[in-house]
Structure 1
Amino acid sequence: MELTNLVDCNELLLCVRKKGAVVWNPWLGESTWIELWSRLSRIKFQGIGYDSKTYKLVANYPGIKYPTFDMWKIYEFASNVWINHEPEPGDGGSINIQNVVSLNGTLYWVCFHDETDPLCYHIRKFDFSSGLFIRFCDLPCGRNHDGDALVLGVFRGDRFSLLKQCKVTKKIGIWVTENKINENGADVVWMNFMNFSSPDLPDLYSKPSYFIEDKRLVVCSCNDTGRAWIYILGDNKLISKTRIDCVVDPWPLHCTFIPSLVPVPRGRREELAELQV
Structure 2
Amino acid sequence: MSVAIYLQTMELFIEVKGAVGLHSNLEQVDITQVLHCGGLLLCFTNNNRLVVWNPCLGETRWIHPKTTGYSSNFALGYQKNKSYHSYKILRCRHDFQLNNTSEIYEFGSDSWRVRDDIALDCKLTLPNQVSSQGNTFWLAEDRIFRNKRIVLSFDFTTERFKRFSLPKNPPSITSLSVVREEQLSFFFFFFFVNQDGMHCFVSNKMQVWVSDKIDNDAVVLSWSKSFKVDFQAIDRRFQSFMVDEEKKVVLCCDSCPWIRSMVYTFGEDFDSYTETPYVQSMQLDFPPFIFSYVPSLVHIQQE
- TMscore range, shorter length: 0.7 to 0.9
**SS of equivalent to 1:48:** strand
| CA distances 1:96-130 after superposition (whole Å, capped 9, x unpaired) | 1244322112222222216863xx22222222333
Corresponding residue for residue 214 of structure 2: 181
Aligned CA RMSD, in angstroms, stands at 2.9
**SS of equivalent to 1:41:** coil
| CA deviation after TM superposition for structure 1 residue 249, in Å | 4.9
**SS of equivalent to 1:87:** helix
Q: CA 1:143/1:12 → structure 2, altered by over 3 Å: closer, same or farther? A: farther
Within 5 Å, which residues of 2 pair with 1:87-106? 87=117, 93-98=120-125, 99-106=128-135
Structure 1 CA distance, aligned partners of 2:94 and 2:136?
Answer: 19
2:235 is the alignment partner of 1:208? no
Corresponding residue for residue 273 of structure 1: none
The answer to which of 222-231 and 78-87 deviates more is 222-231
Corresponding residue for residue 65 of structure 2: 36
| CA deviation after TM superposition for structure 1 residue 85, in Å | 1.0
In structure 2, the gaps of 5 or more residues are 1-28, 192-201
Q: CA 1:40/1:242 → structure 2, altered by over 3 Å: closer, same or farther? A: same
2:99 is the alignment partner of 1:72? no
Corresponding residue for residue 25 of structure 2: none
TM-score normalized by the length of structure 1: 0.78
Q: CA 1:181/1:31 → structure 2, altered by over 3 Å: closer, same or farther? A: same
Contact 1:203 1:223 in 2 (8 A): no
Q: CA 1:209/1:228 → structure 2, altered by over 3 Å: closer, same or farther? A: farther
**SS of equivalent to 2:101:** strand
Q: CA 1:50/1:129 → structure 2, altered by over 3 Å: closer, same or farther? A: closer
Contact 2:261 2:280 in 1 (8 A): no
**SS of equivalent to 1:78:** coil
TM-score normalized by the length of structure 2: 0.72
Q: Decide which of 117, 136, 139 is 1:107's aligned counterpart.
A: 136
Within 5 Å, which residues of 2 pair with 1:162-181? 162-166=186-190, 168-178=202-212, 180-181=213-214
| CA deviation after TM superposition for structure 1 residue 82, in Å | 0.3
| CA distances 1:42-68 after superposition (whole Å, capped 9, x unpaired) | 1332332323262111011368xx845
Structure 2 CA distance, aligned partners of 1:190 and 1:252?
Answer: 28
> Which structure would you say has the larger RCO, counting Cα contacts within 8 Å and 6 or more residues apart?
1
**SS of equivalent to 2:294:** coil
| CA distances 1:208-258 after superposition (whole Å, capped 9, x unpaired) | 333436322111223474432110102353611122136455465323132
Corresponding residue for residue 275 of structure 1: none
In structure 1, the gaps of 5 or more residues are 270-277
Within 5 Å, which residues of 2 pair with 1:240-255? 240-245=274-279, 247-250=281-284, 252-255=287-290
Structure 1 CA distance, aligned partners of 2:155 and 2:229?
Answer: 35
Contact 1:126 1:133 in 2 (8 A): yes
Q: CA 1:10/1:154 → structure 2, altered by over 3 Å: closer, same or farther? A: farther
